[in-house]
């Protein structure tokens, strides 16, 4: 739930306004971007904020001023201690955008400054994310994903101005196959729901396809069209319907028209915020055959969730002081001010009533929760389990050693755990497959 805020101790998605795509760059161009990213970080660390923002493109300049960059940097120092040094760099590309990650050492933590470039070599996106080393950033498929048992092809979800690129993973053999749509958590997610070196949606898609179930995953609308959505949000009409639900329904519609898919056996799985929205998705399309919630048992308004998560993260450093509480409240208020009012009001009304909506649905449901998850809590999971106890077609599963990404871990969960390469537990993939095939 609210994974992008829950994993990191500050409002990590500081800015993400991209307005164009670029092709793969030559090595010299990559080196030039690395030099720009390093110069930006050096200027910021030296307090030369006005110089730093000269590297921004027009959209970024409108979204973040020198004063706002200063506030963001000072917030990091307030939480993580004094800036120490700049570390290694690495490059990447996602969704057609070139990225440079610059490691920044603070007293208490190492973060990566993720700098995203537009087609003209200007900075068009900026995030502060957990540090991942060059070797740790490499993804390898889980052992339970058997490449000889499936094929993948590119597809387009939706029509018109909001078309989204996606991947359909189809088992080998003769169909039609039962199929599953994957719905992301919060933030501008890609189709793999990538966080650090981990790609939980790719794990699930390839794991299930290896077990005979087709899976469709796609890039989220907020990732593909951030600039357009920023303009749309200004019209005071932007809610989770436009952000998530409409595209999930479009993905189901695409599968119904796909010849290899059994149009009567389509399921939808939502993770985190996507899981919270599963009852609304099920209500919007009653013909969806079954619904799966992963870490989606919400009971509190969004701002309360953020407060709880930030408080938990702060507690990892010891007792929470009055100054820490002020900083946490400041960050929560900053989120509330930055989010579109209709978006927050919509979720404020919906989340506390979501379990009641789930009661009225006709589709069977599978509800999964990791006990080591501090974003979506076991307490909320138990509330849902109690309130849906009258429904015999709802299955609940709690995994003692799994975190918010359904990756195995030990001890007390910390944000740094998401920096460690891992895979969605094979037990979870097996349970989903067995439930779908029941």
Per the annotation, the verdict on 264 as an active-site residue is: no
- Report phi then psi at 269, rounded to 5: -115, 130
Query: The tokens of 404 are what?
Result: 């918010």
Per the annotation, the verdict on 404 as an active-site residue is: yes
Query: The tokens of 129 are what?
Result: 């994310």
CA–CA separation, 366 and 167 (whole Å): 24
The one-character DSSP state at 393 is T
Q: Which of 112, 219, 247, 373 is catalytic?
A: 373
Q: Are strands 261-271 and 177-183 parallel, antiparallel or unpaired?
A: parallel
CA–CA separation, 275 and 271 (whole Å): 4
CA nearest to 18, candidates 118, 100, 95 = 118
CA–CA separation, 353 and 105 (whole Å): 43
SS3 at position 63: helix
CA–CA separation, 239 and 352 (whole Å): 16
CA nearest to 260, candidates 177, 372, 143, 376 = 177
The label of the residue with tokens 């849906």 reads 388
Per the annotation, the verdict on 373 as an active-site residue is: yes
CA–CA separation, 56 and 23 (whole Å): 20
> CA 24 → CA 117, 227, 238, distances in Å?
12, 22, 33
CA–CA separation, 414 and 187 (whole Å): 20
Q: Which of 186, 404, 423, 425 is catalytic?
A: 404
CA–CA separation, 200 and 190 (whole Å): 11
Query: The tokens of 137 are what?
Result: 């950033």
Q: Which of 75, 186, 210, 272 is catalytic?
A: 272
CA–CA separation, 425 and 433 (whole Å): 13
CA nearest to 80, candidates 170, 10, 148, 17 = 10
The residues that are catalytic are: 272, 373, 404
């Amino acid at each position: 739930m609210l994974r992008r805020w829950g994993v990191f101790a500050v409002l990590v998605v500081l800015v993400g306004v991209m307005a164009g795509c670029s092709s793969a760059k030559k090595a010299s161009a990559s080196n030039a971007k690395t030099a720009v990213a390093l110069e930006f970080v050096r200027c910021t660390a030296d307090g030369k904020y006005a110089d730093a923002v000269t590297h921004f493109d027009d959209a970024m300049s409108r979204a973040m001023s020198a004063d706002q960059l200063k506030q963001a940097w000072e917030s990091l120092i307030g939480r993580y201690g004094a800036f120490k040094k700049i570390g290694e760099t690495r490059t990447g590309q996602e969704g057609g955008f070139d990225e440079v990650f610059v490691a920044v050492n603070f007293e208490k933590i190492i973060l990566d400054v993720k700098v995203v470039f537009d087609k003209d070599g200007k900075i068009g996106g900026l995030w502060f994310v957990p540090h991942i080393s060059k070797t740790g950033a490499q993804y390898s498929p889980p052992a339970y994903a058997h490449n000889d048992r499936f094929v993948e092809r590119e597809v387009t979800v939706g029509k018109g101005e909001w078309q989204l690129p996606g991947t359909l993973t189809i088992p080998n053999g003769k169909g039609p196959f039962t199929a599953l749509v994957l719905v992301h958590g919060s933030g501008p997610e890609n189709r793999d729901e990538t966080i650090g070196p981990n790609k939980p949606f790719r794990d699930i898609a390839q794991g299930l396809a290896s077990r005979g179930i087709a899976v469709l995953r796609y890039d989220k609308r907020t990732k593909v069209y951030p600039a357009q959505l920023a303009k749309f949000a200004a019209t005071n009409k932007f809610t989770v319907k436009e952000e998530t639900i409409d595209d999930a329904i479009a993905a189901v519609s695409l599968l119904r028209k796909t010849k290899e898919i059994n149009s009567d056996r389509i399921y939808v799985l939502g993770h985190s915020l996507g899981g919270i929205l599963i009852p609304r998705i099920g209500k919007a399309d009653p013909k969806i055959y079954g619904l799966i919630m992963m870490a989606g048992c919400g009971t509190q308004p969004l701002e309360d969730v953020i407060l709880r998560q930030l408080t938990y993260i702060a507690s990892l450093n010891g007792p929470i002081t009055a100054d820490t509480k002020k900083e946490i409240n400041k960050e929560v208020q900053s989120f509330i001010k930055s989010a579109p009012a209709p978006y927050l009001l919509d979720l404020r009304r919906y989340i506390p009533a979501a379990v009641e909506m789930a009661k009225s649905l006709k589709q069977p449901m599978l509800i999964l929760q990791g006990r080591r998850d501090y974003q979506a809590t076991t307490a909320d999971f138990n509330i849902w389990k109690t309130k849906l106890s009258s429904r015999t077609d709802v299955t609940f599963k709690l995994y003692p050693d799994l975190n918010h990404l359904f990756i195995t871990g030990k001890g007390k969960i910390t944000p740094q755990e998401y920096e460690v390469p891992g895979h969605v537990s094979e037990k979870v993939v097996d349970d989903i497959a067995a439930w779908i095939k029941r």
